[in-house]
Amino acid sequence: MLYPSLVTIVGALVNGNVNFLNIAHVGILNAAAPHLISLGMNKTHHTNIGIREHKTFSVNILSQDQMAAMDYVGLVSGGKTDKSAVFETYFGELKTAPLIVNCPLSMECRLYDTYELKTHDVFIGEIVATYADEVVLTDGKVDLAKVKPLLFDMSSLKYWTLGQAVGSCWNAGKQYKKKE
């Protein structure tokens, strides 16, 4: 019940074809170099084959306006349906991790490790490059109010939007201390 979690579109090259799927069981492992993130992906997913083969993948954060396409790539398997045209794509530094054109925020990842579970491959990726669309920046920083990411919740099986910024981290608690 660690929800909501961020909806990401994971891209990989599978048997020479660009493929994408919707993964919200993601995680941030650290806040230091190498910057590592995790994707908990059921072993039945077609995309896993490409990640194992090329040891690269992309993680794309799309806007809530693209919910239909985001959900669609989670509805159909790349093993049966060619999803390569759902998004316009390009390749970056790693050459084998398909990135989405005009995506608010994309990361290219090198497979750092695979944490194997019985049912899931937990792919641990090192972020080697991050691409932000200029339109989501404010003063040179990614502005989530402009990204408008989608969030996932297993309890309601709904997608949720992000609300408002309501306080400053490592600051809002100073108010608590004063109350003591």
Between 49 and 69, whose beta carbon lies closer to its own copies?
Answer: 69
Instruction: Reduce the DSSP state of residue 10 to 3 states and report it.
Output: strand
- By the rule CB under 8 A, 105 interacts with its own copies: yes
Distance CA 112, CA 18 (A): 21
Assess contact for 146 and 135: CB atoms under 8 A: yes
- State the DSSP H helix or E strand holding residue 6, giving kind and residue range, or none if neither: strand 5-6
- By the rule CB under 8 A, 158 interacts with its own copies: yes
- By the rule CB under 8 A, 94 interacts with its own copies: no
Distance CA 16, CA 93 (A): 17
Q: Binding residue for its own copies (CB under 8 A) from 53, 54, 55, 64? A: 64
Assess contact for 129 and 142: CB atoms under 8 A: no
- By the rule CB under 8 A, 25 interacts with its own copies: yes
CA 152 → CA 5, 6, 103, distances in Å? 5, 6, 19
- By the rule CB under 8 A, 162 interacts with its own copies: yes
Q: Binding residue for its own copies (CB under 8 A) from 49, 111, 128, 144? A: 144
Q: Binding residue for its own copies (CB under 8 A) from 17, 52, 72, 114? A: 72
Which residue type occupies 3? Y
- By the rule CB under 8 A, 93 interacts with its own copies: no
Residue (of 116, 101, 96, 95) closest to 50 by Cα position: 96
- By the rule CB under 8 A, 40 interacts with its own copies: yes
- By the rule CB under 8 A, 68 interacts with its own copies: yes
Residues in region 123-142 near its own copies by CB under 8 A: 127, 130, 132, 141-142
- By the rule CB under 8 A, 168 interacts with its own copies: yes
Q: Binding residue for its own copies (CB under 8 A) from 26, 51, 94, 103? A: 26
- By the rule CB under 8 A, 103 interacts with its own copies: no
- By the rule CB under 8 A, 171 interacts with its own copies: yes
Residues 6 or more apart in contact with residue 37 via CB below 8 angstroms: 26, 27, 28, 29, 59, 107, 109, 124, 125, 127
Distance CA 174, CA 146 (A): 28
Q: Binding residue for its own copies (CB under 8 A) from 15, 88, 102, 173? A: 173
